[in-house]
Structure 1
Amino acid sequence: MKGRQRMFIIDAMSRTPVYEQLIEQVETMVLTGVMKSGDKMPSVRSLSGELSINPNTIQKAYAELDRKGLIASVPGKGSFISENAMDIIGNDKREQAADLKDLIGEMKLAGVTKQEIMKIIEEVYG
C-alpha cells in the first residue's frame, strides 16, 4: 500500500454495514472511472489490514460484488473488476428509478413542490 492513496474509507459511525459501504464505494469508483474493467482489487488480507476490518467482512463484500457480477475472481491471481461492471451498475441504477418515482410521489403528498424537486435535480446534474 506504500505510495498510493487509500482507496476505501469506512465510516465506523454509519448505520450502513461496513461490507455495504465497501460495495457502494466500489460501485462509485467504477462509475467515476477510478476503477476500470480489468483493474485488480486489493487482496482481502491487505484491505483488512489497511482498514483494520475483519477479513470475513471484506470477504462478504467481495462475495456480494462477485454475485452481482461486478468482480471476477481468478484463483491464485485475485479479484478483478469485470468487463461489464459499468453496464451492470447502470442497469441497477435504472431499476432504482421506480423507487425514485415512489419517493417523488410521497414528497408530492407531503407538499414538496415540483420546483423544489427540479431544483434538486438541477443541483445533481448541474
Structure 2
Amino acid sequence: MFELDVQSRKPIYEQLMDKIKELMISEVLQEHNQLPSVRILAQKLTINPNTIQKAYKQLELDGYIYTLPGKGNFVAPPKTLKNSLKEEKIKSELAKVLAEALYIGIDKNEIYKLVKEISALAKGGES
C-alpha cells in the first residue's frame, strides 16, 4: 500500500503524506476510513514512528485527516479541505506550473486534455 523511496532527496514524511493524499484522491482511502496506527505503519515500513507521527500531524493540520483520541486517525471528508488559504496556494502553484508548461512549448490543447483526464479520475471532477 505504501512504498517509500529511501534514496530520494524528498523527506520520508513528505513521501508518506503524498502517498496518503494520492490514495485519498484515487478513492482507495475513503472518508472516515481509519488509517493504520503509527506503530503498525512504522513496523511495516521499517521507519521511525516519529516520522509517521510527523506526517499524520501535518495531514491533520492541512485538513486531510482527523484524530479521535483513543481511536486513531481517519480520512477527513473532502468538504473540510475547502480552505481558502489552501485553495489559493494550490491555484498559485498550478498557475506557475501551467506558465512553465506553456513557456517550454506544451500545447494548450494537450494541457486541456490532461485536465479532462484528471477530472474524470477524480470523484466529482468537472469535465
Shorter chain as denominator, the TM-score bin is 0.7 to 0.9
Alpha-carbon shift at residue 100 of structure 1 (Å) = 2.5
Structure 2 residue aligned with 1:36, among 27, 30, 33?
30
User: Counterparts of 1:107 and 1:65 in 2: how far apart (Å)?
Assistant: 29
What is the TM-score when the length of structure 2 is the normalising length?
Answer: 0.75
Q: Which residue in the other structure is 1:4 paired with?
A: none
Alpha-carbon shift at residue 107 of structure 1 (Å) = 4.3
In terms of mean alpha carbon deviation, does 84-93 or 18-27 score higher? Answer: 84-93
Larger radius of gyration: 1
Structure 1 residue aligned with 2:52, among 51, 58, 78?
58
RMSD (Å) for aligned C-alpha atoms: 2.5
Instruction: State the identity %.
Output: 34
Gaps of 5+ in 1: 1-6
- Determine if contact 1:31/1:86 at 8 Å carries over to the other structure: no
What is the TM-score when the length of structure 1 is the normalising length?
Answer: 0.75
Aligned residues: 116
Alpha-carbon shift at residue 120 of structure 1 (Å) = 4.7
- Determine if contact 1:40/1:80 at 8 Å carries over to the other structure: yes
Gaps of 5+ in 2: 118-127
